[in-house]
A and B are shown apart, each in its own frame.
Chain A
Amino acid sequence: MITEVATCTFDSLDLDCGVTLAPVEVAYETYGELNAERTNAILIVHAFSGDAHAAGEGGWWSNMIGPGLAFDTDRYLVICANALGGCRGTTGPGSLNPATGQPWAMSFPVVTIADMVRLQKKLIDHLGIPRLLAVAGGSMGGMQALEWAVSYPEHVAAALPIATTARHSAQQIAFNEVGRQAIMADPDWNGGDYYGRKPPGRGLGVARMVGHITYMSDDSMREKFGRRLRRPDQFEVESYLTYRGYKFVDRFDANSYIYITRAMDSFDLTQRGTLSMLFNGINVRFLVLSFTSDWLYPSYQSLEIVSALRGRNCDVAYCNLETRYGHDSFLVEVEEQTALVRGFLASTFKETTAAKHKPAAPAPPKPAHKHARKETASRA
């Protein structure tokens, strides 16, 4: 499967913090074809360190997205965009501030999960999709899937929040804060002003090491490393974490790390009212998945969402899958998820195409051609 990143520029984006970001770029990839009725589009939302390259060679969810896979690109148009605040093509702290001509760095405005979703909505409008068949994602992607369902219920038929939560716990915030502190303690961070110079690689590497520990489980670490030695003076697990931290520095911006983890920590659906109030009357189907070995996003957090949905008699399917790989399960335990996701999508597609009720949507612009290298859209 050949994939290519496209970039789309919007005139502006209003942020929750009150700042208007202008202009704003979003990098995205698409796989498959939009049908004539424009009812088969699925938005895949990446987790904290992911990017728009979800499928195909090296894609972060390539085992789930593709011809004949769970998100079957023979049947659906799959879209994945880099998140706002990221560093893989979408506007973030590493982008140039048009007012100064310098990178934003720490003067980049505070972004939220809702801001990320607002930008995705612009992209979806630009692609001429009145209503998504589904929004799916794990971890931070799951938060965005929830945000979509709450903010744009008429524009999404189904949401698949996987291994996620409606709000971070103290433990989740704590691990993120350790990562941020590691970056800021690195002298190379220099208050965020390091572009064009040596980036805070040691700090970012340590942050990533902590992250990796939280994504695994005691079981999976025992299986993968045990107490094996790499060298006489180094455990296998030390070597692995150091390597992963080191590799991460090549592809991730330390300031994005700070901004995006803050967006995750500040996300709290219950700030806008109880979950039960938020889910009242929304006509979105849900498939919520959690994993038994995931101690970073434990199943009680998914159950909180599911209970609220059931209390409103929303259409929700929930399964706590038996896995061993901790939070990483959503990326690696493919067999567990494939049949579930495929069946859920197929029945949702059948229902939405059979349903007479179609939300009124403004006449959308012409669908953009996929794999376009660069395109510009005026504010929809």
Chain B
Amino acid sequence: MKIVREIYGRRDYAIIGELVEPGTRVLDLGCGEGELLAWLKENKDVDGRGVELTAARVQKAIARGVSVYQGDLESAVGDYPDQVFDYVILSQTLQETRDPRGVLRSMLRVGKHAIVAFPNFGHYSVRLAHLFSGQSPRNKLFPYDWFDSPNIHFLTIRDFELLAARERWRVERRIFIAGQRQVSLFPNLLAEIGVFLVSATYQP
């Protein structure tokens, strides 16, 4: 059983921090206040860029010394040239995008690898809440009411695996987190967060 550390209180950040090779070029989509990028710069000597929509967060990120662009990540990712990043990170934001598949495709266009972390809608607590309450699930993974949730696509770990197979993405690493542990058994039922490292494969 592997214990998951936290960076700035975020388990997904700690996992991503481990996945990123030192000295690489990283784009963080929906980078918030730039905590992860600052950590990667400090600890892994990465050349980092970020995209964030909220002005107040962008201000904090730039004040941290991180180069962040204020804009909508879905259109912003389209502006970068092909394959200029080693990693493109989308952490806890995939479920908020209008066109998740389009975003993922763009990520693999501008970057060699994509790192995607998202809350698992297939977690047993979500399933049970839905089954017994008959309401839209609301718990610590999905802490919003249906009417004020930023989440507009609810995906499970299995959903992501199926999309990756369909798009012929190579899943290089998959890490599943529950509480402070990594889980490997029944991830779609037991994992709260899934973290995937994928790359594009072009088969002849």
Which A residues are closer than 8 A to B by beta carbons? 285, 287, 306-307, 310-313, 315-322, 336, 339-340, 342-344, 346-347, 350
With A310-B69, A319-B70 in contact, is A344–B81 under 8 Å at CB?
A: no
The 3 closest A-B pairs by CB, nearest first: A347-B65, A343-B63, A339-B63
> Are A340 and B63 in contact, with the CB atoms below 8 A?
yes
CA A318 to CA B49, docked complex, whole Å: 11
Bitwise interface map of B from 56 to 71 toward A, beta carbon under 8 Å scored 1, else 0 = 0011111111111111
Contact residues in B for A350 (Cβ distance below 8 Å): 65
Q: A306-B69, A322-B55 in contact; A317/B62 too (CB < 8 A)?
A: yes
Q: What are the residues of chain B within 8 A of A321 when measuring CB–CB?
A: 55, 59
Other-chain contact of B69, A317, A346, A347 (Cβ < 8 Å): A317
Within 8 A of A (CB), among B13-64: 47, 49, 55, 58-64
Q: Which residues of B contact A (CB under 8 A)?
A: 47, 49, 55, 58-71, 76, 79-81, 84
Which residues of A lie under 8 Å from residue B66 when comparing CB positions?
317, 347
Q: Which residues of B contact A317 (CB under 8 A)?
A: 58, 61-62, 66-69
* 14 additional A-B residue pairs with CB within 8 Å, beyond A310-B69, A313-B81: A307-B79, A310-B79, A315-B67, A316-B69, A317-B58, A317-B61, A317-B66, A318-B69, A319-B58, A336-B59, A340-B63, A342-B63, A344-B63, A346-B65
When the two chains form the complex, which single residue of A312, A315, A340 contacts B49, counting CB atoms closer than 8 Å?
A315
The smallest beta-carbon distance between B185 and chain A, in angstroms, is 42
In the complex, A336→B64 CA distance in Å?
14
Distance from B53 Cβ to chain A, minimum over Cβ atoms (Å): 11
Residues of chain A with a CB closer than 8 A to B80's CB = 310-311, 313
Residues from chain B with a CB closer than 8 A to the CB of A343 are 62-65
Contact assessment for A319 and B65 in the assembled complex, using a CB-CB cutoff below 8 Å = no
Q: B70 near A312 (CB under 8 angstroms)?
A: no
Q: Complex formed: what's the CA distance from A319 to B66 in Å?
A: 12
Q: Which residue of B lies closest to A287 (CB)?
A: B62
Q: What is the chain B residue whose CB lies nearest that of A285?
A: B67
Q: How many A-B residue pairs have CB under 8 A?
A: 63
In the assembly, what is the distance between CA of A97 and CA of B55, in Å? Answer: 50
A306 to B63, CA, bound (A): 18
CB distance from B204 to the nearest CB of A (A): 30
Nearest to B110 among chain A residues (CB) is A313
Chain B residues contacting A320 (CB-CB under 8 Å) are 55, 70
Q: A311-B81, A322-B55 are in contact. Are A344 and B62 (CB under 8 A)?
A: yes
Residue of B61, B67, B81, B84 touching A316 (CB-CB under 8 A): B67
How far is it, in angstroms, between the C-alpha of A285 and the C-alpha of B62 when the chains are bound?
A: 12
Judge whether A319 and B81 touch: CB under 8 Å.
no
Q: Are B58 and A311 in contact (CB under 8 A)?
A: no
Which residues on the B side are within 8 Å of A307 (C-beta)?
A: 79
- Shortest CB-to-CB span from A92 to chain B, Å, is 36
Q: Most chain-B CB neighbours within 10 Å: which of A316, A319, A346?
A: A319
Could you say which residues of chain A place their CB within 8 Å of the CB of B68? 317-319
A-B contact pairs, 10 of them (CB 8 A): A285-B67, A306-B69, A310-B79, A317-B62, A319-B58, A340-B62, A343-B64, A346-B65, A347-B64, A350-B65
Q: Name which residue of chain A comes closest to B67, CB basis.
A: A317
Q: Are A340 and B67 in contact (CB under 8 A)?
A: no
Contact B63 A313, beta carbon cutoff 8 Å: no
- Collect the chain B residues with CB atoms within 8 Å of residue A311's CB: 79-81
Residue of A nearest to B56 (CB): A322
| Given known A-B contacts A311-B79, A311-B81, A313-B84, A319 and B55 have beta carbons under 8 A apart | yes
Cα distance, A322 to B63, chains bound together (Å): 16
* Chain B residues positioned under 8 Å from A315 (CB to CB): 47, 49, 67
* Contacting pair B65 A312 (CB below 8 A): no
Which residue from chain A places its CB closest to the CB of B41 in the assembled complex? A347
Q: Which residue of A lies closest to B58 (CB)?
A: A319
Q: How far is the CA of A321 from the CA of B54 in the complex (A)?
A: 10
A318 CB contacts on chain B under 8 angstroms: 58, 68-71
By a CB distance below 8 angstroms, the chain A residues around B61 are: 317
Residues of B within 8 A of A287 (CB): 62
**Nearest A residue (CB) for B38:** A347
Complex formed: what's the CA distance from A111 to B81 in Å? 37
CB nearest to A311 among chain B residues: B79
Q: What is the CB-to-nearest-CB distance from B58 to chain A, in angstroms, rounded to a whole number? A: 5
- Assembly CA distance A336 to B71 (angstroms): 18
B135 CB, nearest partner CB in chain A, Å: 36
Question: Which chain A residues border B79 with CB–CB below 8 Å?
Answer: 307, 310-311
Q: A355 CB to closest chain B CB, in angstroms? A: 12
A285 to B47 CA separation, bound complex (whole angstroms): 12
B84: chain A residues at CB < 8 Å are 313
Contact A319:B59 (CB < 8 A) given known A307-B79, A311-B79: yes
